[in-house]
Chains A and B, each alone.
Chain A
Amino acid sequence: MYRYDEFDRTLVEERVAQFRDQVSRRLSGELSEDEFKPLRLMNGVYLQLHAYMLRVAIPYGTLSSRQMRRLAHVARRYDRGYGHFTTRQNIQYNWPSLAELPDLLMDLADVEMHAIQTSGNCIRNVTADHFAGAAADEIEDPRIYAEIVRQWSSLHPEFSFLPRKFKIAVTGAPSDRAAIAVHDIGLRMVRNDAGEIGFEVMVGGGQGRTPMIAKTVRAFLPKQYLLSYLEAILRVYNQFGRRDNMFKARIKILVHEIGIEKFSGLVEEEWEQVRDELVDLPPGELERIRAYFRPPPFDPLPDVDQGFEAAKTATPAFAAWARSNLFPHRQPGYAIVNLSLKPVGGVPGDVSAEQMDAIADLADQYSFGEIRVTHEQNLILPHVRQEDLFALWQALEAQGLATANIGLVSDIIACPGMDYCALATARSIPVAQRISTRFAETERAHDIGDLKIKISGCINSCGHHHVGHIGILGVDKKGEEFYQITLGGDASEHAAIGGLIGPAFASDEVVDAVETIVETYLANRINGEHFLDTYRRVGPSPFKEKLYAAH
């Protein structure tokens, strides 16, 4: 697994020392809040409704068991015993005190973790497919390239003051599990006709006030040119991006305003100039980074483990879990295991310190010490032997981490919303809790099938509601919480922005509305269609009729 370069270690330690000094000058009054605020934000520290919040980067969502134990320690020692995994594959702590933050950051630095580039108008923490290095359908491990981009973008002088924040996501597989189409830049690994590996480069996706699906600027970029091409895109953005208006400053607006052909022309022109300068990685460097992501020492195993098959037959609850929470591994005899952080009625993405410790132990015992964070706010043990699955399931059950609902109606993304977030217009977590309680029955959830509900507490869209099959956006109507519903959004390789179905629902109507939508789908589905298939076939009308019939 990737370990920090010496360069990173020195840099992170220097940053913590600097921040310690800044905090003490703030507490003594030498620095005013106006002077201090940008400094704390550069270190991932926000002031939220109830307290300071610290956002810790988890590059491409990969964590070691050692790091997970440290996250548990931080939750216990500096927080209130829990943390919250976010849709950016980060973890947030909701209650640290300012005075203790430098010590907290030092404890994280010990395990090569930090909060740099989690805030501000820079290139943010790069995200990747959470099944990286394990997925059966993968062309190449995307984390190698995510890491290359991370090293290149970390404190890149030219790109620390971009017109606006900038998010990059990478997938190494044809199925998009990293929502690349709603990132400023999305990179998808592809093979060309000659069988060479490269990237399809997509630009200008995003959510928020003006949701957009990224457009392809280049269908095939030979992979050795990744950095020079990114550099060219960033330069064009830096030059033409709208710095005059915060709401128009994202690259998606630029791409939209000048059109993808013109944008693409500018990038190609710029690229001609930079591609032969020394920005691209020399091959030795690529191999060095690739070595960090070498596969663990898998055992040669038969494709199917008989004990696993027998356990499924004997224990229906285990079989249900295996159906929804396991994914095919590239290595025969292994499986990718999803740990659901969406227990019925629970807070999506919240994990207690005790659970974190237990997960770290299970990772050591069953998954080469590796853990992944998904942008859907769940965790993954990426490399588990099929023969260990039953024992692992029992251990996860005991920790409340084995809800059999991955990808189903109760596996809801919800941003912190008004319960924590200073920017919120309404709460999101309680809506998720009520929906998952309504659909608590495993059999019913499995019968409904693939259904992604995503909830945001304001138009900033951290809860990805625009790309939820059912998207829910909390709004404030004359001091009351209301919820707008969009249908048909999709974050996969068939990405689409959901369409507003009609007027918003009051808080006490919204769960019924979701149930009406689900029932309408079930009444219309044919031949085992997924929700999205049915929705695309029948369109919004039947849903609209049912939802607003009583109004």
Chain B
Amino acid sequence: MNAQVVTANRLADGQVVYFTSQGGWSETIADGAVAHDKDSATALLLRAERAVAEQVVVEPYLIQVTHKDDGDILPVRYREAIRALGPSVRPDIVTDRSGRSITTHFGNS
């Protein structure tokens, strides 16, 4: 089974965020806490869901990612790649502070 992280949109500004191992939320997917099996994924989502009641995020959910050896995390589905890296048609708008742009995910097509 694939590795998973929890993502959501921040309540105040809608920004895409990822649940970190410290229990906070980061705008960068590479900071996301990774669950490697079903039980830890369920537990991770449960922890993350507390932030809903605390008005931090809305609608957290699990996404599948590939966890690279260098620690980098990339979403499996293209929908999530676009959420992580911003609109593919506006590479000037970088929503990931790692500085990566969505075009690196899709190539230049």
Residues of A whose CB lies within 8 Å of any CB of B are 26-29, 33, 47-52, 80, 94-95, 97-99, 347, 418-420, 424, 427, 429-430, 433-434, 479-481, 507-508
CB pair A430–B109 under 8 Å, yes or no, is yes
Given contacts A47-B58, A420-B87, A430-B88, contact A52 B82 (CB under 8 A): no
Given contacts A80-B93, A429-B89, A479-B76, contact A99 B13 (CB under 8 A): yes
Given contacts A33-B59, A420-B87, A508-B109, contact A51 B78 (CB under 8 A): no
Determine the residue in chain A with the shortest Cβ distance to B52: A33
Tell me which residues from 1 to 36 in chain B have a Cβ below 8 Å from any Cβ of chain A. 9, 11-16
Q: Which B residues are CB-close (under 8 A) to A429? A: 87, 89
Instruction: Give the shortest distance, in Å, between A154 (CB) and chain B (any CB).
Output: 28
CB pair B58–A418 under 8 Å, yes or no, is no
Given contacts A48-B14, A50-B15, contact A419 B87 (CB under 8 A): yes
Residue B104 lies at the interface, judged by CB distance under 8 Å to chain A: no
The CA-CA distance from A95 to B93 in the complex, in Å, is: 11
From B12, B78, B86, B87, contact of A27 by CB (8 A):
B12
Which one of B77, B82, B83, B95 has the greatest number of beta carbons of chain A within 10 Å? B82
From A95, A99, A419, A479, contact of B88 by CB (8 A):
A419
Please count how many residues in chain B sit with their CB below 8 Å of the partner chain's CB atoms. Answer: 27
Q: Which B residues are CB-close (under 8 A) to A507? A: 109
From A48, A95, A347, A480, contact of B89 by CB (8 A):
A347
CB pair B14–A98 under 8 Å, yes or no, is yes
CB pair B55–A430 under 8 Å, yes or no, is no
Residues of B whose CB lies within 8 Å of any CB of A are 9, 11-16, 52-55, 58-59, 76-79, 82-83, 86-90, 93, 95, 109
The CA-CA distance from A97 to B75 in the complex, in Å, is: 25
CB pair A98–B13 under 8 Å, yes or no, is yes
Q: Which A residues are CB-close (under 8 A) to B79? A: 49, 418, 424
The CA-CA distance from A50 to B13 in the complex, in Å, is: 9
Determine the residue in chain B with the shortest Cβ distance to A434: B109
Please give 5 more A-B residue pairs, beta carbons under 8 A apart, in addition to A50-B15, A433-B89, A480-B78: A27-B12, A51-B13, A51-B15, A419-B89, A419-B90
- A-B pair count, CB < 8 Å, reads 75
Which one of B53, B88, B95 has the greatest number of beta carbons of chain A within 10 Å? B88
The CA-CA distance from A326 to B9 in the complex, in Å, is: 44
Q: Which A residues are CB-close (under 8 A) to B78? A: 418, 479-481
Given contacts A80-B93, A98-B11, A98-B12, contact A50 B83 (CB under 8 A): yes
Instruction: Give the shortest distance, in Å, between A341 (CB) and chain B (any CB).
Output: 14
Instruction: Give the shortest distance, in Å, between A312 (CB) and chain B (any CB).
Output: 35
Determine the residue in chain A with the shortest Cβ distance to B77: A479
CB pair B87–A50 under 8 Å, yes or no, is yes
CB pair A47–B14 under 8 Å, yes or no, is yes
Q: Which B residues are CB-close (under 8 A) to A52? A: 13-14
Instruction: Give the shortest distance, in Å, between B7 (CB) and chain A (any CB).
Output: 11
Instruction: Give the shortest distance, in Å, between A310 (CB) and chain B (any CB).
Output: 40
The CA-CA distance from A244 to B55 in the complex, in Å, is: 33
The CA-CA distance from A48 to B15 in the complex, in Å, is: 10
The CA-CA distance from A99 to B78 in the complex, in Å, is: 29
Determine the residue in chain A with the shortest Cβ distance to B85: A50
CB pair A99–B12 under 8 Å, yes or no, is yes
Instruction: Give the shortest distance, in Å, between A458 (CB) and chain B (any CB).
Output: 11
Q: Which A residues are CB-close (under 8 A) to B86? A: 50
CB pair B16–A49 under 8 Å, yes or no, is yes
Instruction: Give the shortest distance, in Å, between B23 (CB) and chain A (any CB).
Output: 19
Instruction: Give the shortest distance, in Å, between B31 (CB) and chain A (any CB).
Output: 17
CB pair A50–B77 under 8 Å, yes or no, is no
CB pair A418–B82 under 8 Å, yes or no, is yes
The CA-CA distance from A480 to B15 in the complex, in Å, is: 25
Q: Which A residues are CB-close (under 8 A) to B14? A: 47-48, 50-52, 95, 97-98
CB pair B12–A97 under 8 Å, yes or no, is yes
The list of the 3 closest CB pairs from A to B, nearest first, reads A97-B13, A51-B14, A419-B87
Instruction: Give the shortest distance, in Å, between A449 (CB) and chain B (any CB).
Output: 28
Q: Which B residues are CB-close (under 8 A) to A48? A: 14
Which one of A28, A98, A433, A481 has the greatest number of beta carbons of chain B within 10 Å? A98
Determine the residue in chain A with the shortest Cβ distance to B15: A51
Instruction: Give the shortest distance, in Å, between B2 (CB) and chain A (any CB).
Output: 12
Q: Which B residues are CB-close (under 8 A) to A479? A: 76-78
Instruction: Give the shortest distance, in Å, between B15 (CB) and chain A (any CB).
Output: 6
Instruction: Give the shortest distance, in Å, between B75 (CB) and chain A (any CB).
Output: 11
13 A-B residue pairs with CB within 8 Å: A28-B55, A33-B58, A47-B14, A49-B16, A50-B16, A51-B15, A52-B14, A98-B12, A98-B13, A418-B78, A418-B82, A434-B109, A507-B109
The CA-CA distance from A94 to B86 in the complex, in Å, is: 11
Q: Which A residues are CB-close (under 8 A) to B77? A: 479
Instruction: Give the shortest distance, in Å, between B67 (CB) and chain A (any CB).
Output: 18
CB pair A49–B83 under 8 Å, yes or no, is yes
The CA-CA distance from A177 to B109 in the complex, in Å, is: 33
The CA-CA distance from A98 to B12 in the complex, in Å, is: 5
The CA-CA distance from A437 to B58 in the complex, in Å, is: 39
The CA-CA distance from A424 to B87 in the complex, in Å, is: 13
Q: Which B residues are CB-close (under 8 A) to A433? A: 89
Q: Which A residues are CB-close (under 8 A) to B93? A: 80
From B11, B53, B88, B90, contact of A427 by CB (8 A):
B88
Determine the residue in chain B with the shortest Cβ distance to A99: B12
Instruction: Give the shortest distance, in Å, between B96 (CB) and chain A (any CB).
Output: 11
Q: Which A residues are CB-close (under 8 A) to B15? A: 50-51
Instruction: Give the shortest distance, in Å, between B88 (CB) and chain A (any CB).
Output: 6
CB pair B88–A27 under 8 Å, yes or no, is no
